[in-house]
């Protein structure tokens, strides 16, 4: 997970990834209902995102709306047969809420978390 944090710092930086997430919130705010997930088209994924991890072959991105105090979040997920890693980000006050015991979370920056899950 530390390598993912270093790659964020090396490519977009905290400001770049937060600005991108904020632009996604603004673009999709009225596109979905409460507690829904909208998968992002490739055209909404910046060129630097695939560079954040080169070991997992499959990348997916989505925006999630929520009625919880956390509000909206953007998820980047890289997956393979051996597990998944990802970045979950919201506004600066966003707190990731682990929802499964096989997920391991680490706060990278305020409101931005990296995580991984091992296939069981």
Is 96:88 a contact under the CB 8 Å cutoff? yes
C-alpha–C-alpha distance, residues 89 and 74, integer Å: 5
Range of the domain at 111: 2-118
Extract the tokens encoding 22. Answer: 């904020």
pLDDT digits (tens, 9 = 90+) for 56-92: 767 888 888 765 556 788 888 888 777 788 899 988 8
| More confident: 12 or 97 | 12
**Among the ranges given (16-20, 27-31, 94-98), the one the predictor scored with the smallest mean pLDDT:** 27-31
Domain count, the chain: 1
Confirm whether pTM is higher than 0.75. Answer: yes
Half-sphere exposure of 32 (CA within 13 A, CB side): 22
């Amino acid at each position: 997970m530390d390598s993912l944090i270093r790659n964020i710092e090396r490519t977009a930086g905290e400001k770049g990834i937060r600005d991108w997430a904020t632009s996604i919130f603004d673009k999709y705010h009225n596109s979905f209902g409460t507690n829904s997930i909208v998968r992002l088209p490739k055209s909404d994924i910046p060129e630097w995102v695939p560079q954040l991890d080169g070991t997992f072959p499959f990348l997916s991105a989505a925006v999630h709306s929520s009625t919880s105090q956390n509000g909206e979040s953007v998820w980047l997920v890289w997956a393979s047969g051996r597990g998944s890693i990802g970045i979950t980000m919201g506004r600066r006050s966003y707190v990731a809420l682990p929802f499964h015991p096989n997920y391991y979370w680490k706060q990278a920056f305020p409101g931005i978390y990296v995580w991984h899950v091992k296939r069981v």
